[in-house]
Amino acid sequence: MINRRLALAFAVAGVIAAATPLFAHHSWPVDSRKLVTVRGTVTAYNWTNPHVMFNLDVKNDKGAIEKWNVGGPATNRMAANGWTASTLKPGDVLTAIGYQFSDGQPILRLEKVTLADGKDMYLYGHR
């Protein structure tokens, strides 16, 4: 009887341990009702997990430069859509399309990038 309880306890502990990473992930606090488009110059590109991020200098309607943080999914998902660690580099001019943070911060959860040569780069399998 004790061996059966011990085995059950280990099984429950194993299930909890396996599920813990699922609870650690988060969603982006974005307004998913409206796509936002920004065009700017890449100032940094970080090909790292858990999210590939890059920074853009974007000229607003008044001519001032706004600093935008733009993020995508993990490197493996982006690689599956043709991205590499050298897809972007500082100085590249591009158009980023995605969902802005709900609180108005200049942070974009990326859906698509249009490179200077007109090539569209997707992030979530859209073609």
Domains by residue range for the chain, with CATH: 36-122 (2.40.50.1010)
Q: Which residue has the higher pLDDT, 9 or 105?
A: 105
Q: Which residue has the higher pLDDT, 17 or 51?
A: 51
Q: Is the pLDDT of residue 100 over 70?
A: yes
Q: Distance between CA 60 and CA 43 in Å, rounded?
A: 16
Q: What is the mean pLDDT of the chain?
A: 84
Give the model's pLDDT for residue 124. Answer: 78
| pTM, two decimal places | 0.76
Cα 14 → chain centroid: 30
Q: Is the pLDDT of residue 110 over 90?
A: yes
Q: What is the DSSP letter of 117?
A: T
Q: Is the pLDDT of residue 101 over 80?
A: yes
Residue 40: pLDDT band (50, 70, 90) is very high
- The three-state secondary structure class of 73 is coil
For residue 67, give both structure tokens. 């600093």
